[in-house]
């Protein structure tokens, strides 16, 4: 997975925040410390981490909590916004006919990314064609040709000919009718004079709409040096960070680019032609924070939960009576299978605290539980601890069920009560957060 280590550390920090009793300076400092550690481990520049930490602390403690939001949600929203801001806005490459020139150092994954980009446009219904102007690396021609053939993408190259400019000229002529022309240029071990000269010559011939710099995520925060150097020498319109799936330094590479005058257009997330993603900072961060599927759940919850009837906050604090449980079971029943809902919860661990049995609330059981509860007094419903063995006998007789059924119901209630405590502040608060963040 892409940056799963950073993701899980950030999710742990958010989880801590979600389950903290109250938001005070200490809580904010603790969470910021966790976030700092996670970002530094991912090679994000220290100065950047410190500035971001300062912003989070200041905003969390000084900014007024927006109306309709609780302090916890307020802080999570700030963390989300600050993380998004350190990776920049992203570059949008439009879906229209254009020429794209690929540049970068050798080993960055430029050739593979060229074919992935062709595939990206092909999937969007545009006709891509690829020109191999890498006459420096032996094998580049054959590699790109094979990749394009597999994807059924038009390819032009002249094996053995070292005249990259001539190849580009002839390739563009041949591909006049194609929508997207992607030119793969040669890389070197460093940004040397002859590489710059060759890029400038190719640039003059093809006059590209976009010049995309390919960078390997493993270089971490050094990405800013490379982006700056290429930008100053020939100018770049955007960056593609490759191999984000295989390094612990991804955070460094992503954040470093935004420090320069450029931003990220795509990210490479694996070795297959499909493993290229358009870079969308807000979506990327919400996925990293584990807020992915929550939106679906929240929409569902919104539709079927009567918020006046259910006081989730109170329940999660432990005031979870049999009456609450009954209302909750009814509401959840309307939402769909319990297990499916729990699996959609974000932040992994929160959902995982629900015991397997808790998923088995079928319609039949619900009906049985309702009949049993109908035989209880109001007092028993509000305070189930009063229900000893003589009351169990009475309730079972009154409801036409066995004492085991009553015990099972009480056991289930205890289990849910504990699970609720464990999820304190968890899932349903996330609903509001996602909404406020416009997701
Ligand atoms: N896991 C993973 N591997 C990648 C990704 N992008 C490229 N690679 C691999 O990185 C290796 C080098 O990629 P090439 O495309 O040959 O890149 P290169 O050597 O930089 O080629 P030039 O830049 O053209 O000199 C290949 O084995 C690719 O499969 C990615 O996003 N994830």
Quick one: which H or E segment has residue 101? strand 98-104
Q: pLDDT at residue 36 above 70?
A: yes
Nearest residue (CA) to ligand 1, atom 6: 109
- The mean predicted confidence, pLDDT, of the chain is 83
Query: What is the reported pTM?
Result: 0.70
Cα(35) to ligand 1 centroid in Å equals 31
Q: If we measure between CA atoms, which residue out of 79, 71, 14 comes closest to residue 345?
A: 14
Nearest residue (CA) to ligand 1, atom 1: 270
CA distance 97 to 113: 19
Domains delineated in the chain: 4-86 (1.20.120.140), 98-279 (3.40.50.300), 294-436 (1.10.260.30)
Residue 307: predicted pLDDT: 44
Q: pLDDT at residue 327 above 90?
A: no
Q: Helix H segments across 219-278?
A: 223-233, 250-259
Q: If we measure between CA atoms, which residue out of 332, 317, 345, 340 comes closest to residue 417?
A: 317
Cα(108) to ligand 1 centroid in Å equals 6
Q: Is 104 annotated as a binding residue?
A: yes
Q: pLDDT at residue 324 above 60?
A: yes
Q: How confident is the model at residue 359 (pLDDT cuts 50, 70, 90)?
A: low
Q: At what angle do helices 4-19 and 281-288 cross, to 10 degrees?
A: 70
Ligand 1 atom at minimal distance to the Cα of residue 134:
24
Cα(190) to ligand 1 centroid in Å equals 17
Ligand 1 atom at minimal distance to the Cα of residue 104:
23
Task: Tell me which of 389 and 71 has the higher pLDDT.
Answer: 389
Query: Which residue among 144, 150, 157, 271 has the greatest number of ligand 1 atoms within 8 angstroms of its CB, and so is best to mutate?
Result: 271
The answer to ipTM > 0.85 is yes
Residue 308: predicted pLDDT: 41
For residues 165-174, average pLDDT: 98
Residue 297: predicted pLDDT: 36
Pocket residues: Cβ below 6 A from ligand 1: 104, 106-113, 134, 137, 140, 187, 242-243, 245-246, 268-271, 275
Residue 204: predicted pLDDT: 95
Q: Is 386 annotated as a binding residue?
A: no
Q: How many CB atoms lie within 10 A of CB 110?
A: 27
Phi, psi of 38 (to 5 degrees): -60, -45
Query: To the nearest whole percent, how much of the chain has pLDDT over 90?
Result: 53
User: 121-127: which pairs have CB atoms within 8 A and are 24 or more residues apart?
Assistant: 121/95, 121/179, 121/180, 122/151, 122/152, 122/153, 124/95, 126/95, 126/96, 126/97, 126/179, 126/180, 127/154, 127/177, 127/178, 127/179, 127/180
Q: Is 242 annotated as a binding residue?
A: yes
Q: Is 362 annotated as a binding residue?
A: no
Query: To the nearest whole percent, how much of the chain has pLDDT over 70?
Result: 80
| Structure-block tokens of residue 194 | 């002859």
Q: How confident is the model at residue 222 (pLDDT cuts 50, 70, 90)?
A: very high
Which residue spans within 217-274 are E strands per DSSP? 238-242, 264-268
Q: Is 298 annotated as a binding residue?
A: no
Residue 221: predicted pLDDT: 95
Q: If we measure between CA atoms, which residue out of 369, 350, 360 comes closest to residue 421?
A: 350
Ligand 1 atom at minimal distance to the Cα of residue 184:
24
Cα(218) to ligand 1 centroid in Å equals 12
| Structure-block tokens of residue 347 | 């932040």
Q: Is 260 annotated as a binding residue?
A: no
| Structure-block tokens of residue 431 | 């609903």
CA distance 91 to 89: 7
Task: Tell me which of 127 and 400 has the higher pLDDT.
Answer: 127
If DSSP codes are grouped into helix, strand and coil, which group holds residue 237?
coil
Cα(417) to ligand 1 centroid in Å equals 51
Ligand 1 atom at minimal distance to the Cα of residue 242:
31
Cα(242) to ligand 1 centroid in Å equals 8
Q: If we measure between CA atoms, which residue out of 115, 165, 181, 169 comes closest to residue 144?
A: 115
pLDDT, one tens digit per residue, over 51-81 is 999 999 999 999 888 776 778 878 888 898 8
Residue 20: predicted pLDDT: 78
Residue 290: predicted pLDDT: 77
Q: Could you write out the DSSP letters of every residue in 14-74?
A: HHHHHH-SS--HHHHHHHHHHHHHHHHHTT--HHHHHHHHHHHHHHHHHSPPPTT--HHHH
Cα(70) to ligand 1 centroid in Å equals 46
Phi, psi of 249 (to 5 degrees): -100, 15
Q: Is 184 annotated as a binding residue?
A: yes
CA distance 47 to 38: 14
For residues 182-204, average pLDDT: 92
Q: Is 27 annotated as a binding residue?
A: no
Residue 302: predicted pLDDT: 43
Q: pLDDT at residue 159 above 80?
A: yes
Residue 425: predicted pLDDT: 47
Q: Which of 98-112, 276-290, 375-389 has the highest mean pLDDT?
A: 98-112
DSSP letter assigned to residue 221:
G
CA distance 80 to 294: 15
Cα(271) to ligand 1 centroid in Å equals 8
Query: Which residue among 110, 111, 112, 137 has the greatest number of ligand 1 atoms within 8 angstroms of its CB, and so is best to mutate?
Result: 112
Q: How confident is the model at residue 331 (pLDDT cuts 50, 70, 90)?
A: low
Cα(177) to ligand 1 centroid in Å equals 29
């Amino acid at each position: 997975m892409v940056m799963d280590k950073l993701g899980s550390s950030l999710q742990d920090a958010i989880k801590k925040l979600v389950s903290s009793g109250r938001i005070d300076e200490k809580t904010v400092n603790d969470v910021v410390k966790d976030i700092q550690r996670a970002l530094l481990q991912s090679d994000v520049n220290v100065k950047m981490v410190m500035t971001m930490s300062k912003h989070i602390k200041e905003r969390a403690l000084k900014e007024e909590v927006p109306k309709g939001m609780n302090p916890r949600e307020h802080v999570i929203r700030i963390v989300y916004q600050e993380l998004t801001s350190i990776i920049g806005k992203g570059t949008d490459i439009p879906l229209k006919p254009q020429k794209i020139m690929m540049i970068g150092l050798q080993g960055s994954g430029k050739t593979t990314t060229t074919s992935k980009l062709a595939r990206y446009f092909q999937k969007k219904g545009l006709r891509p064609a690829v020109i191999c102007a890498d006459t420096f690396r032996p094998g580049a021609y054959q590699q790109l040709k094979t990749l394009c053939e597999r994807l059924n993408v038009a390819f032009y190259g002249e094996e053995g000919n070292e005249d990259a400019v001539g190849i580009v000229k002839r390739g563009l002529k041949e591909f006049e009718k194609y929508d997207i022309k992607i030119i793969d240029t040669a890389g070197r071990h460093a940004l040397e004079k002859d590489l710059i000269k060759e890029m400038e010559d190719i640039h003059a011939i093809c006059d590209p709409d976009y010049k995309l710099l390919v960078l390997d995520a493993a270089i971490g925060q050094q990405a800013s040096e490379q982006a700056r150097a290429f930008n100053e020498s020939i100018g770049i319109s955007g960056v593609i960070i490759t191999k984000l799936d295989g390094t612990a330094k991804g955070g460094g590479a992503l954040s470093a680019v935004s420090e320069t005058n450029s931003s990220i257009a795509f990210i490479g997330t694996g070795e297959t032609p499909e493993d290229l993603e358009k870079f969308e900072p807000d979506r990327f961060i919400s996925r990293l924070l584990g807020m992915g599927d929550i939106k679906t759940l929240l929409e569902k919850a919104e539709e079927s939960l009567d918020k006046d009837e259910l006081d989730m906050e109170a329940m999660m604090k432990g005031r979870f009576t049999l009456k609450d449980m009954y209302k909750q079971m009814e509401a959840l029943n309307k939402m769909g299978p319990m297990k499916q809902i729990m699996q959609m919860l974000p932040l992994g661990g929160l959902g995982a605290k629900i015991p397997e049995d808790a998923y088995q609330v079928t319609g039949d059981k619900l009906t049985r539980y309702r009949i049993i509860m109908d035989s209880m007094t109001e007092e028993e419903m509000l305070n189930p601890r009063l229900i000893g063995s003589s009351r169990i006998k009475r309730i079972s007789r009154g409801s036409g069920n066995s004492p085991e059924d009553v015990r099972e119901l009480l056991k289930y209630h205890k289990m849910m009560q504990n699970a609720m405590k464990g999820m304190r502040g968890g899932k349903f608060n996330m609903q509001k957060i996602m909404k406020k963040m416009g997701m």
